[in-house]
């Protein structure tokens, strides 16, 4: 047997909003191969709030990408020692045999059918969230004082309110990461990450019977929470702890892996991004930092996981309550540590929306094809040309009178108001590439300003965030990353490969599961942190570099950003009062 055959690998499976990706990773953290398969999302032409997916479609994609990355790397299935999953915080609904149950409103709601996932971005449960937020329950203390309609309990309550009672009673509900480990092992063990972050499982206290009765979900309590998977007193798994006996016979055949391959307790995708980035050393000006980060240092590092939306995660040794920011959550990743999660509901999606809805976008795409550049590079080149023509020192000065507020899909934090909406002030009668370029920069700046708003709120409440560790596709946009550094006044560390960080985090779960010695939760923190340090490749640091003049402009922009929030709230109230 040669050294190649003896080498061990771990597979991290990342289920994102629009695709499934498998990463084949070795012990050093080197990603040997990646395979991606798109998944389907259903929308409702008459209701923009609706986003639905299918666990059958997702699981079929899992099988394709696992086999694909093994084939691409010429790795034998027996060399795979563990499997880890992360996924969006979407609600998957099945019966107690694991068969999918339809979540689409209408005659098919509650019967067996393909569309059985309410995607994280789905905003149908606004009334249910409003009801929950009027309860004053202790569960609200652990979600920043206000529960988001993107979480699982409002969605489950929406199903209860719209589904026939006999059909609702047959349902079991999963946060999508936990569904994937269930599908892989047929063990219904749930993760601390999913239950505490998205399912109203209160740290140290567990399920709150009075809360469920108050909102009309008596069924959950009457059946000892069987529908949500963890009965009173049952163990909730922390990240990477082995689930059941590993891959079931059916799943092993579907994925092309050995029976019993260890499966680690899963994470929400943003938390896998934290796992795959915050233990990184970094290079600055080409020099690698000699300091190996400690677990304690992680409390000063904010992980920003940026894709369709952006999540901002920071941990602390004690629970910190932050208005408008989710958490504090106990043990979502590291045993004994707490986490808070801020977020922006639409960032990558917002950039795409602003670009594709501008009249000059087709012209920019055509220009990019002619020059062999993507649209972002084209616009950044144009911005620099326009800046010189207008004799402006910086792009911030160039767009100083254009103000974009980014909450086109509501505010996740720190305002925690899904009714917030976007705005653009400073529009001209201009539909040219110049206008498109300026709108592009204004959008990037707005995303950076909102990131500062979240970090300021975290630090005012007791956190000590001193740096931002990025992952996700937006980390490739250096203009945006420099804006983050300049606007927030702190360094930004970019991962070695922005597309690999989340999948790498999932692979770390796989390795921990493979090496677990059944010692329970004791020692999980040290073991997982050591794996993170060993497997996370060095990142690249971008430091703040703006001049004093631009600093003043950015601070003024931030004050206008905050004022825009108050103006929108006041205008909304004035319109509501007019209708009263």
- For residue 313, give both structure tokens: 């995660």
Is residue 277 assigned to a domain?
Answer: no
Is residue 216 assigned to a domain?
Answer: yes
- Proportion of the chain above pLDDT 70, given as a percent: 99
Is residue 451 assigned to a domain?
Answer: no
Nearest to 150 by CA among 250, 270, 24: 270
Q: Residue 562's Cα: distance from chain center in Å?
A: 25
pLDDT at 251 over 50: yes
pLDDT at 246 over 80: yes
By the 8 A CB rule, do 445 and 484 touch? no
d(CA 100, CA 57): 11
- For residue 412, give both structure tokens: 């996740």
Compare 434 and 523 and report the one with higher pLDDT: 434
Burial class (CB in 10 A: 0-12, 13-18, 19+), 24: buried
The three state secondary structure string of 426-483 is CCCCCCCHHHHHHHHHHHHHHHHHHHHHHHHHHHHHCCCCCEEEEECHHHHCHHHHHH
Is residue 580 assigned to a domain?
Answer: no
Mean pLDDT (whole number) for 138-142: 95
The Cα angle at residue 534 between residues 528 and 537, in degrees rounded to 5: 120
pLDDT value at residue 3: 44
Grouping H, G, I as helix, E, B as strand and the rest as coil, residue 440 is helix
Give pTM, 2 decimals.
0.91
Compare 71 and 291 and report the one with higher pLDDT: 71
Burial class (CB in 10 A: 0-12, 13-18, 19+), 139: buried
Helix (H) or strand (E) holding 372: none
| Helical packing angle, 548-579 and 478-488, nearest 10° | 90
pLDDT at 188 over 60: yes
* Residue 327 CB neighbours (<10 A): 26
- For 50-64, write each residue's pLDDT tens digit: 999 999 999 999 999
Is residue 416 assigned to a domain?
Answer: no
By the 8 A CB rule, do 289 and 283 touch? yes
Cis amide linkage into residue 328, ω under 30° from 0: yes
pLDDT value at residue 206: 93
Is residue 167 assigned to a domain?
Answer: yes
The three state secondary structure string of 205-271 is CECCHHHHHHHCCHHHHHCCCHHHCCCCCCCCECCCCECCCCCCHHHHHHHCCCCCCCEEEEEEHHH
pLDDT value at residue 565: 98
Nearest to 84 by CA among 277, 272, 282: 272
- For residue 275, give both structure tokens: 């796992």
pLDDT at 33 over 50: yes
Mean pLDDT (whole number) for 316-342: 96
Query: Looking at the 3D structure of the chain, how many domains does it have?
Result: 1
- For 379-413, write each residue's pLDDT tens digit: 999 999 999 999 999 999 999 999 999 999 999 99
d(CA 462, CA 82): 38
By the 8 A CB rule, do 238 and 521 touch? yes
pLDDT at 440 over 80: yes
Diameter over CA atoms, the chain: 80
Is residue 552 assigned to a domain?
Answer: no
Is residue 211 assigned to a domain?
Answer: yes
Q: Are strands 287-288 and 282-284 parallel, antiparallel or unpaired?
A: antiparallel
By the 8 A CB rule, do 267 and 284 touch? no
d(CA 481, CA 471): 11
By the 8 A CB rule, do 101 and 110 touch? yes
Phi, psi of 540 (to 5 degrees): -120, 130
* Residue 111 CB neighbours (<10 A): 12
Partners of 314 in the beta sheet? 340
Mean pLDDT over each residue of the chain, to the nearest integer: 95
d(CA 473, CA 452): 20
Mean pLDDT (whole number) for 547-551: 98
- For 482-529, write each residue's pLDDT tens digit: 999 999 999 999 999 888 999 999 999 999 999 998 767 888 999 999
pLDDT value at residue 523: 87
Q: Where are the alpha helices (DSSP H) in 79-203?
A: 126-133, 152-162, 165-168, 176-185, 192-198
d(CA 42, CA 124): 14
* Residue 574 CB neighbours (<10 A): 9
- For 315-328, write each residue's pLDDT tens digit: 999 999 999 999 99
pLDDT interval class at 1 (50, 70, 90): very low
d(CA 300, CA 315): 8
Q: Which residue's entry shows tokens 């996370």?
A: 536
Q: What is the CATH number of the domain that holds 160?
A: 3.30.420.40
Containing domain of residue 218, as a range?
9-265
């Amino acid at each position: 047997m040669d050294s190649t055959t003896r080498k061990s690998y771990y597979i991290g499976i990342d289920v994102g909003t629009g695709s499934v990706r498998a990463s084949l990773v070795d012990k050093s953290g080197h990603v040997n191969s990646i395979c991606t398969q798109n998944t389907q999302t259903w929308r409702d032409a008459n209701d923009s709030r609706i986003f639905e997916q299918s666990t059958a479609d997702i699981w079929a994609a899992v099988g394709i990408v696992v086999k694909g990355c093994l084939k691409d790397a010429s790795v034998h299935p027996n060399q795979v020692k563990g499997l880890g999953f992360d996924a969006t915080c979407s609600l998957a609904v099945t019966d107690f045999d694991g068969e999918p149950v339809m979540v689409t409103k209408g005659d098919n709601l509650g019967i067996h059918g393909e569309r059985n996932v309410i995607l994280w971005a789905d905003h149908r449960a606004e009334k249910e969230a409003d009801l929950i937020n009027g309860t004053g329950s202790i569960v609200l203390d652990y979600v920043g004082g206000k529960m988001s309609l993107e979480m699982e309990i409002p969605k489950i309550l929406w199903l209860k309110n719209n589904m026939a009672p006999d059909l609702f009673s047959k349902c079991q509900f999963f946060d999508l990461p936990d569904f994937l480990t269930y599908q892989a092992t047929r063990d219904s063990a749930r993760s601390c990450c999913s239950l505490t972050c998205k399912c109203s499982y209160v740290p140290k206290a567990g399920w709150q019977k009075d809360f469920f009765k108050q909102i009309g979900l008596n069924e959950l309590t009457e059946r000892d929470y069987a529908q949500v998977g963890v009965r009173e007193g049952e163990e909730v798994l922390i990240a990477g702890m082995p689930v059941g006996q590993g891959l079931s016979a059916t799943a092993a055949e579907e994925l092309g892996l050995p029976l019993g391959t260890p499966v680690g307790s899963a994470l929400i995708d943003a938390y896998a991004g934290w796992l795959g980035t915050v233990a990184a050393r970094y290079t600055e000006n080409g020099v690698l930092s000699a300091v190996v980060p400690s677990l304690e240092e992680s409390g000063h590092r904010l992980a920003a996981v940026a894709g369709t939306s952006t999540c901002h995660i920071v941990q602390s040794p004690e629970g910190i309550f932050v208005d408008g920011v989710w958490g504090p959550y106990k043990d979502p990743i590291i045993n004994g540590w707490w986490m808070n999660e801020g977020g922006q509901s639409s960032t990558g999606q917002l950039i795409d929306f602003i670009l594709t809805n501008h009249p000059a976008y087709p012209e920019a795409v055509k220009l990019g094809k002619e020059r062999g550049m993507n649209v972002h590079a084209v616009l950044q080149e144009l911005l620099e040309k326009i800046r010189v023509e207008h004799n402006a020192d910086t792009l911030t000065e160039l767009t100083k009178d254009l103000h974009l507020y980014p909450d086109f899909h509501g505010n996740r934090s720190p305002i925690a108001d899904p009714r917030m909406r976007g705005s653009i002030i400073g529009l001209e009668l201009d539909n040219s590439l110049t206008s498109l370029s300026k709108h592009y920069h204004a959008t990037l700046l707005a995303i950076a300003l909102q990131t500062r708003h979240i970090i300021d709120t975290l630090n005012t409440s007791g956190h000590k965030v001193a740096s931002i560790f990025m992952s996700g596709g937006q980390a490739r946009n250096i203009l945006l990353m420099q804006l983050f550094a300049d606007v927030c006044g702190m360094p930004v560390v970019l991962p070695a490969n922005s597309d690999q960080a989340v999948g790498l985090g999932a692979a770390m779960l796989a390795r921990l599961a493979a090496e677990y010695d059944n010692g329970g939760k004791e020692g999980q923190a040290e073991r997982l942190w050591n794996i993170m340090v060993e497997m996370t490749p060095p990142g690249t640091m971008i430091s703040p570099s703006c001049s004093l003049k631009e600093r003043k402009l950015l601070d003024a922009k931030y004050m206008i950003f905050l004022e825009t929030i108050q103006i929108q709230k006041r205008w909304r109230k004035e319109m509501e009062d007019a209708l009263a």
